A and B are shown apart, each in its own frame.
Chain A
């Protein structure tokens, strides 16, 4: 089911949580709402799910206005950050809940409910926990039960609020892949909220980057990483070095007061100047982290560190040491005018 959002606004007191949001979610896709805390992503999710009401704007499911439909009637599965499992019910009863509260004439008989609950528990690979209570489960298990519970009512849309936020790093990674596979099997239109860029880039078909109630960019994971639309996206997704025209005129001089954004892995390092625009710097710190080597350098007389990432092969070739004088030159960068969102050039 597709979702169309037009000119959506939401205000909490004097705080603007959502500012004129326009978004089109395609049927069957897995979309990530990515942004720092307080950017409005959870508000947007709750409004789609019918748990909050927008102040203004339109919300359509498959072209049909759903504003008048409350959360009960929207046929949306919601998975909460802290799972919100019913603590006094067993895992089985939690998953069966949505089936048991159906109006009498739609309700399945006990045998059918039992069959479907076990089918769902099989799907999340936790059938053996059917008789346990939520307090007896690990975080990852609870999250999967919460998902099974949401899927029980066969929702047309699945909404997940920071689904892996409360889990430790290893479980997060596993569940991430598992969610992706599950989505590929079920093809339910799904939106998940996250503040973790790695998570969004790895799992989602498309990523919506949000900041302060605005959408900064909508694109595939590759697009938002490789061609960020705004300085915010540049800084929020991945690491970036900023070169202000005041200090690094040779790269930005033609644009007046501007800032060049350069990814750490887009900087070349060399013992001899690459060309006339190369900058001489001193190596301050060399650190090998897994498959990459991180080098921090500073221009002469500057206290600002520039971060450079090299693959291990490249590093072995140059063998840098602290205090070495080297030359750097960005292979690829983008210039934005200071203060504004306006993009000036891409090299």
Chain B
């Protein structure tokens, strides 16, 4: 009898791993996350506050830091709306129309993802720099792009271009153009169709793309680093400012400013989850293009 019982107990369902294997897998996954994601994030805040509140606030209130924060916000405030307009226009034309060179356009939209940001920055220097193709002309007309705010904004727009377009293209393709055709045949004008039919249909995907685009616009380092020239208080964004402080061994200040960026990332993640939840609740699909 006892022999029988044991044979039943030792029989396993083939799709179920044993408890120890399950625990091991979870432990590995969690450990990995802690080591490479949570621990660095924690250390940023730990270092930032290591010398107390006062130093933390001083580091953030310092004029150069404030100007870096301001420049980062300006950059995001220009590049995100610009990419919002371009992204919708590109996604609209790709999803709703047939035209020659469509696949080329799709490839071009992906270019910023494929090219290293540093290379993107260099391209701008090559084009608009003092020795670049258009540089002398710009100089003659007293227009400063490279080592100035416009260059930083241009580089950021380039790097963050795919986020919104990539988010919208599959969504709009899946939705087709029947609803727009219905609106037009009911007498709606182009703008009425866009604001009353198209935009409400893509709002969650659009918001999702804007969040990702904004996060990248504020955090972009490579491309901006090449075109900015690192002029303190003038052309330093937050990521560049962090690097300079760090290279000067000013760790508390570096981590303080870095903590702001980290905080932004956390807030972004929070909003992103909220948007996903909201989109799910409203029953609209949220496609992840990129």
Contacts and interface: CB of A to CB of B under 8 A. Distances in A.
Interface string B148-169: 0000000000000000000000
Contact of B201 (A49, A78, A88, A150): A88
A97 B181 contact: no
Given A97-B186, A97-B188, A86 B179 contact: yes
B178 A72 contact: no
A86 B197 contact: yes
B283 interface: yes
B213 to A, nearest CB: 23
A71 B283 contact: no
Interface SS of chain A: helix, strand, loop or mixed? Answer: loop
A254 B143 CA distance: 92
Given A72-B188, A97-B188, A101-B189, A84 B283 contact: no
Contacts of B186: 97-98, 101, 149-150, 152-153
Contacts of B201: 87-88
Interface string B166-204: 000000000000110111111111001000110011000
A78 B185 contact: yes
Given A86-B197, A97-B183, A135-B283, A80 B189 contact: no
Nearest to A77: B185
Interface string A135-173: 100000000001001101100000000000000000000
A102 interface: yes
A80 B181 contact: yes
A80 B192 contact: no
A87 B284 CA distance: 9
Contacts, number: 66
B204 to A, nearest CB: 10
B182 A84 contact: yes
A72 B200 contact: no
A135 B283 CA distance: 9
A113 to B, nearest CB: 13
A76 interface: yes
B179 A71 contact: no
A105 B284 CA distance: 35
Interface size class of B (residues with CB under 8 A): 10 to 19
Contacts of B187: 72, 98, 101-102, 153
A56 interface: no
A71 B196 contact: no
A192 to B, nearest CB: 15
Of B185, B200, B283, the most chain A CB neighbours within 10 A belong to B185
Interface in B247-290: 283-284
B189 A72 contact: yes
A50 interface: yes
B185 A97 contact: no
Contacts of B184: 51, 70-72
Contact of A84 (B178, B188, B189, B284): B178
Of A50, A76, A77, A88, the most chain B CB neighbours within 10 A belong to A88
Interface string A209-251: 0000000000000000000000000000000000000000000
Contact of A78 (B181, B188, B200, B284): B181
Contacts of A88: 200-201, 284
Interface string A51-88: 10000000000000000001110101110101011111
Contact of B185 (A49, A82, A135): A49
Of B187, B188, B201, B283, the most chain A CB neighbours within 10 A belong to B187
B185 A51 contact: yes
A46 to B, nearest CB: 9
A45 to B, nearest CB: 12
A189 B197 CA distance: 28
Contacts of A102: 187
B189 A97 contact: no
B188 A80 contact: no
Given A87-B201, A135-B283, A80 B183 contact: no
A38 to B, nearest CB: 18
A345 to B, nearest CB: 47
Nearest to A95: B186
A101 B189 CA distance: 8
Interface in A271-327: none
A150 B187 CA distance: 10
B181 A101 contact: no
Contacts of B196: 86, 97, 101
A127 B85 CA distance: 40
A74 B186 CA distance: 10
A135 to B, nearest CB: 6
Contacts of B178: 80, 82, 84
B189 A51 contact: no
Of B179, B183, B186, the most chain A CB neighbours within 10 A belong to B186
B284 to A, nearest CB: 8
9 contacts: A76-B185, A78-B182, A82-B178, A86-B182, A86-B196, A97-B188, A98-B187, A150-B185, A153-B186
Interface of A: 49-51, 70-72, 74, 76-78, 80, 82, 84-88, 97-98, 101-102, 135, 146, 149-150, 152-153
Given A72-B188, A101-B189, A152-B186, 9 more contacts: A51-B185, A74-B185, A78-B185, A84-B178, A84-B181, A88-B201, A98-B188, A101-B183, A149-B186
The 10 lowest CB-CB distance pairs between A and B, nearest first, are A84-B178, A98-B186, A101-B188, A78-B185, A84-B182, A88-B200, A101-B192, A71-B185, A71-B184, A84-B179
